[in-house]
Each structure stands twice: as structure tokens, then as C-alpha cells.
Amino acid sequence: MENLILHVYYTCKPGMAQTFVKAVKDCGAQAKVHAEDGCFQYDYSLSCEQADTVVLMERWRDAAALEKHMAQPHMGEINALKQQYVDEVKIERYE
């Protein structure tokens, strides 16, 4: 088992961090990701130290599961929300 971990840091537009997280949950995309084969974790958290920062913690069975995830239709929904609420994205990948 490979286990691939991602920490995704979203710098949201001012005052939009909570709105972004709520929108991802409310549209059903987060639940769809949780149901994907190979997804062990997909959790959004608000930073206590950096205003307007959201941290997404992902854990996948392997790179193939992550690659399949990125091609799912609900990722289009998340990408549209990112365009609306997010200014910058930083990704840390651990294999």
C-alpha cells in the first residue's frame, strides 16, 4: 500500500474561507470525493493562525486513485468554487 498524502493550502479572497468550505460541502462534492475508491481522507479545515486560509488534508491509497479522482465530474464543481472564492493554492505532496 503506497498511501499518498496531500496538504492543499487555499488562500481565499478576504472573508471567503468559511463560505468556500461551506459551498464545497453544500454542493455535495466533498461527499462524492469521500465515496471514491481509494480515498481515505478528504477534509477541509479553517486555519486558526492564518486568516482566509483553508487547509485540505487528503490521503489516497496510491497515485492511481488520485489520478482517477482528478478526472471526476465533481472536480469541475470544486474548481468552479475555487475560481469564485480562492486567490492562491499551494500543494504539499508526501509519498
Give the tens place of pLDDT for each residue, 9-64: 999 999 999 999 999 999 999 999 999 999 999 999 999 999 999 999 999 999 99
Q: In which band, very low, low, confident or very high, does the pLDDT at 81 lie, cut at 50, 70 and 90?
A: very high
What's the rounded Cα separation, in Å, for the pair 51 and 32? Answer: 28
How much is the pLDDT for 10?
98
User: For helices 74-85 and 17-26, what crossing angle results, to 10°?
Assistant: 160
Stretch 63-69: mean pLDDT, rounded? 96
3-state secondary structure of 61: coil
List for the chain the helix, strand, coil content (%; round to 5).
40, 35, 25
C-alpha cell belonging to residue 42 = 478528504
The model's pTM is: 0.93
1 pLDDT above the threshold of 60: no
